[in-house]
Structure 1
Amino acid sequence: MHLHELTMEQYLSWERDGYLAIEDFLSEGELHTYNTAMDATLAAWKAKGSIMPPNIDKVSSVIEHGEIYLALMEHPRMMGIMRDVIGDAFTMIDNELFIKHPGQATHANWHRDTATTMLIGGKRVPFMVKVFYFTADVPYDGGCLSFLPGSRHMRDEVLPAAEAGGQMPGHVRMNVRAGTAVLFDGATYHAAMDNTSSEQRRSLIYNYGPLFLKQWPGYEPSATLLGNKENTPLRNMLLGACPWPRDPHVFQ
């Protein structure tokens, strides 16, 4: 089996558990750059009168707010990982800047984003793969993104109660260091824990799926992004700017 970016150990862990955490994905310099950009984007967004949910700062379609976010959407290393877990043809479904503030109760009980699974060329392919780039340390009590390992293989009717919260037997919390990238299959049972710490949970989130999917409503790229004549074939593929066949050359 040929892998583009993952090691065989990582790939087998992904196939078994339905999620993968990769430490030091972003360097200290990149973290400083992204955190500075996130703060500036939020300040500008709020200055326009945008209203945030209680105790959460969120900017949907963050790729509309600068090249820095587009560059992360098509990060070369992550593109290699997506090729390993999805294949050579995929698109960006949604994306956002997300900051969960101290003292906030969970904003998402246990759920899966989709129960759909597919076989393409005899290979099990996720209907969607979501990537969290954490730009600050996440303590154990910091509102962790959490998973039930192996649940991607479970039927809906055998999944534990959604209200289990932090009492979910066998759950794993992503109390990770800044710079960690966490990706998970949309069929993996997951939740956000209460943030009882004094820290913000800061992240940039990108969701990818097979090329036949469209962006979720409200996340469609603007005409400005779609019409940029300097877009590469890879960027056009991710933005859904034009139909694109299975073609590994886009990654060159």
Structure 2
Amino acid sequence: MHLHELTMEQYLSWERDGYLAIEDFLSEEELLAYNTAMDATLAAWKAKGHIMPSNIDKVSSVIEHGEIYLALMEHPRMMGIMRDVIGDAFTMIDNELFIKHPGQVTHANWHRDTATTMLIGGKRVPFMVKVFYFTADVPYDGGCLSFLPGSRHMHDDVLPSDEAGGQMPGHVRMNVKAGTAVLFDGATYHAAMDNTSNQQRRSLIYNYGPLFLKQWPGYEPSAALLGNKENTPLRNMLLGASPWPRDPRVFQ
């Protein structure tokens, strides 16, 4: 089996558990750049009169707010990982800047993003793969993204209660250090814990799926992004502007 970026150990862990955490994915220099950009983007967004939910700051379709976010959407190493878990043809479904402040109770109890799985060429392919880039340390009580390992293989009728919260048997919390990238199959049972710490949970989120999927309503790329003559074939594929290619050359 040929893998583009993952080790065989990482791939087998992904197949078994339905999620993968990769430490030191972003460097200290990159973290500084992204945190600076996130703060500037939020300040500009709020200055335009946008109201944030209580204890949460977020900007949806963050790729519309600067090249730095587009570059992370097509991070070369992550593109190799997506090729390993999805294949050579995939698109960006949604993307978001998301900061969860201290005192915020869970905004998402236990759920799946999808119960759909597919077989393409005999290979199990996720209907969607979501990536969280954590730009600050996440303590155990810091509102962790959490998973039930192996739940991607379970039927809905045998999953534990969606109200279990932090009492979910066997759950694993992503109390990770800054720079960690966490990806998970949308069929994996997951939740966000209460943030009872004194720290923000800071993240940039990108969701990918097979190329036949459309962006979620409200996340469609703007005409300005789609019409940019400088777009590479890879960027056009991720933005949904390429008609059904399955060409590995887009990754060159």
Provide the TM-score with structure 1 as the length reference. Answer: 1.00
What CA distance in whole angstroms lies between the structure 2 residues aligned with 1:115 and 1:174?
22
What CA distance in whole angstroms lies between the structure 2 residues aligned with 1:242 and 1:29?
33
- Could you list the per-position Cα deviations for residues 62-108 of structure 1 after superposition, in whole angstroms to 9, with x for gaps in the alignment? 00000000000000000000000000000000000000000110000
Partner of 1:125: helix, strand, or coil? Answer: strand
Q: How many residues align?
A: 252
Q: Which runs of 5+ in 2 are unaligned?
A: none
Q: What is the CA-CA distance between 1:191 and the residue it aligns to?
A: 0.1
Partner of 2:163: helix, strand, or coil? Answer: helix
What CA distance in whole angstroms lies between the structure 2 residues aligned with 1:114 and 1:120?
17
Give runs of aligned pairs for residues 99-178 of structure 1, distance below 5 A. Answer: 99-178=99-178
What CA distance in whole angstroms lies between the structure 1 residues aligned with 2:211 and 2:51?
33
- Could you list the per-position Cα deviations for residues 14-63 of structure 1 after superposition, in whole angstroms to 9, with x for gaps in the alignment? 00000000000000000000000000000000000001111100000000
What CA distance in whole angstroms lies between the structure 2 residues aligned with 1:6 and 1:186?
19
- Could you list the per-position Cα deviations for residues 114-161 of structure 1 after superposition, in whole angstroms to 9, with x for gaps in the alignment? 000000000000000000000000000000000000000000000000
What CA distance in whole angstroms lies between the structure 1 residues aligned with 2:216 and 2:51?
21
Partner of 1:33: helix, strand, or coil? Answer: helix
Provide the TM-score with structure 2 as the length reference. Answer: 1.00
Partner of 2:37: helix, strand, or coil? Answer: helix
Runs of 4+ in 1 over 4 A off after TM superposition: none
Partner of 1:103: helix, strand, or coil? Answer: coil
What CA distance in whole angstroms lies between the structure 1 residues aligned with 2:111 and 2:238?
26
Does structure 1 conserve the Cα–Cα contact (< 8 Å) formed by 2:212 and 2:244? no
Partner of 2:142: helix, strand, or coil? Answer: coil
Does structure 1 conserve the Cα–Cα contact (< 8 Å) formed by 2:134 and 2:181? yes
Q: What is the CA-CA distance between 1:245 and the residue it aligns to?
A: 1.6
What CA distance in whole angstroms lies between the structure 2 residues aligned with 1:128 and 1:209?
4
Partner of 2:21: helix, strand, or coil? Answer: strand
Q: What is the CA-CA distance between 1:241 and the residue it aligns to?
A: 1.1
What CA distance in whole angstroms lies between the structure 2 residues aligned with 1:137 and 1:104?
17
Q: Which runs of 5+ in 1 are unaligned?
A: none
> RMSD of the alignment, in Å?
0.4
What CA distance in whole angstroms lies between the structure 2 residues aligned with 1:244 and 1:238?
11
What CA distance in whole angstroms lies between the structure 1 residues aligned with 2:244 and 2:40?
34
Partner of 1:205: helix, strand, or coil? Answer: strand
